[in-house]
Amino acid sequence: MSSPSSVIPAQRRGTGSHFVVNGSDGLAYRLAEQLTQRYGADVVLLMTPEQLRGARDFSELPRVRVLVVDRVDERALHQADLTNSLGLALAVQDDVANIHIALRARDIRPDLRLVVRMYNSNLGRGIEELLGNAKVLSDAEIAAPALVAIALDEVSAVPVPVAGRTLVVARRGAAVPADVVCGLVDTVGTGAAVDLLPADAASADLVLAESRETTSVADTVNAVALRMTRRARRWRLRAVVDTMKSLVSRQFRFAVSTALVVLAVAGFFFARGEHVRSLWDGIYLTAANAFGGPELSPDLPGRQQVLQLVIALAGLALVPLVTAMVVEGLVNARLAVAQGRLRLPTDGHIVLVGLGNVGTRALRMLYDRGLPVIAIDINEQARGVALARELGIPLIIGDASRESTLRSANVQRCRALMTLASNDVINLEAALHGRNLQPQLRVLVRLFDGDLAARVRKTFSIRFTRSVSYLAAPAFAEALMDREVIGTISVERRVLLIAEVVVGPGSPLDGTRVGEADQPGAVRVIALAEFGEPRPLWRPADNRVLHARDRLTVVASRDGLSDLMAQAAAAGVATS
């Protein structure tokens, strides 16, 4: 592995050795961590006092200087020595503020490399063109597909366009052998950890393959029919009962049930008296005594008189209880309609906790696939609340760390639970309550702390834990280093990159063979575009010779990509 400093672009080293990062959350932390530890650069972290109050602890990261300013303006950028920096990353969750700061930075230094975090990726593409030498990325867009795939027990099939082809990650058994580009991961080996880019490509059970899928009319009709069938399930009797239960408190249900049981038992024995001639007479007399008041009959035996009084008392208690229960149900129903959460619960659905940026993106993906979803968030102002109401998705405004909230979402009969809130404690508590309600439940937990995630997997047998910042940070770091990263692939809590590398004239790769660029576990060459050729050669032979300005398309780990970039650097360019 090359030394960390060797990966800093040589042509920019004369301007300084630090990056400026504006942010305070998990993404900013992971980005600063990678820039300092993996790439050997210093980082100046800009944040306001308000951002500092909720910030991660950056003191444990060496070579990171936290600069707290009243506002991030031209003066603050000068204090961070932006003029002599290697690049600026704007990692705050505020699209408008990030654009404003980017424009200020462009005025200070027109050629500066900019990486901007934006939720709206469509707007971001236009911003890239306007700013120049900029990359706009969405951490939610990067992470959400992998999270949804894990929750559904699927391979992440997010298409990645590469040199005119569309590539997806697939299980080897589901891919046509001729479409397999390379083996990615061996997840069933003897080792405890997965084997990335194994030396024996045939042993990989997850592969990168070309997608040739098309949507036919029949597929569309079947998809619509499946969606309608799933929606029709919501109207089953059990769903209706569940809805009524969600509108009436447990105390009222218990009190009414008790009164009905007393009335039924007393009525049964009362109807067995000698004065009752038929079953209908028994039912009639019981109902008349319960709701019309007891009919005085001195001739009745003492036992029958006692039962008659019990029936009258049970009926007297039942009427106000039922009235109160109906009133409570109507009030709760009106509140639920106002909050957009009155929907018939179902089974086989996805319960999604947290409607921030990532949760909102995951919610939209699940809806677009026609999957039944119930969303939960404690904050009615969360980004995804408006989307859920617009799409008619069942929504619960409540604390997901409480078991009662999860019960109202029918977690005990759901298909999977996704806890994607930005708070690790809430996510973990919701996951544990979900497991208590359904021991075999498939749970995906968003956790920032890697050590905590490992202990949770070991102690609570919750296998699927992911960090959004960990999934997204590599793309931000590589973009800040001005590398041609085309896409990212999430494997467990590790990330592979699809990138392009140009062979520099006189570099160690110039004149070598393709096989020498491959590194088991680190780099796999999937395509070679020879200089002057309009189309790349896919899966090039290992003995094919590389020449200056040839372009390699590779799948690599972050360390492997750094090593390959160092080998591809042109002669005469310092790399350390």
Per-residue model confidence as pLDDT tens digits over 553-565: 999 988 888 889 8
Residue 489, classed as helix, strand or coil, is strand
Reported pTM: 0.71
Q: Which long-range contacts (CB under 8 A, 24 or more apart) does 287-290 make?
A: 289/315, 290/263, 290/314, 290/315, 290/318
pLDDT of residue 13: 40
Q: How far is it, in rounded angstroms, from Cα 58 to Cα 76?
A: 19
Per-residue model confidence as pLDDT tens digits over 399-412: 999 999 998 888 99
Per-residue model confidence as pLDDT tens digits over 224-268: 445 444 444 444 455 556 666 666 777 777 888 888 888 787 777
pLDDT interval class at 292 (50, 70, 90): low
Per-residue model confidence as pLDDT tens digits over 386-442: 999 898 888 999 999 999 999 888 899 899 999 999 999 999 999 999 999 999 999
On the question of pLDDT at 571 being above 70, the answer is: no
CB 526 within 8 A of CB 538: yes
Q: How far is it, in rounded angstroms, from Cα 304 to Cα 271?
A: 9
Q: Which long-range contacts (CB under 8 A, 24 or more apart) does 258-266 make?
A: 259/314, 259/317, 259/318, 259/321, 260/318, 262/310, 262/314, 263/290, 263/311, 263/314, 263/315, 263/318, 266/307, 266/310, 266/311, 266/314
pLDDT interval class at 346 (50, 70, 90): low
Q: How far is it, in rounded angstroms, from Cα 193 to Cα 248?
A: 49
Q: How far is CA 521 from CA 210, 236, 516, 518, 558, in A?
A: 22, 52, 14, 9, 11
**b (16+ CB within 10 A) / e for 182-216:** bbbbbeeeeeeebbbbbeebeebbbbbbbeeeeee
Per-residue model confidence as pLDDT tens digits over 83-92: 999 999 999 9
Which alpha helices (DSSP H) does 340-413 contain, by range?
Answer: 357-368, 383-391, 403-408
- In this structure, the number of other CB atoms found within 10 A of the CB of residue 109 comes to 16
Residue 365, classed as helix, strand or coil, is helix
Listing from the earlier edge strand, what are the strands of the sheet with 523-529? 484-491, 494-502, 551-556, 523-529, 537-538
Which of 41-55, 356-370, 444-458, 516-530 has the lowest average pLDDT? 444-458
pLDDT of residue 576: 36
**b (16+ CB within 10 A) / e for 357-381:** bbbbbbbbbbbeeebbbbbbbbeee
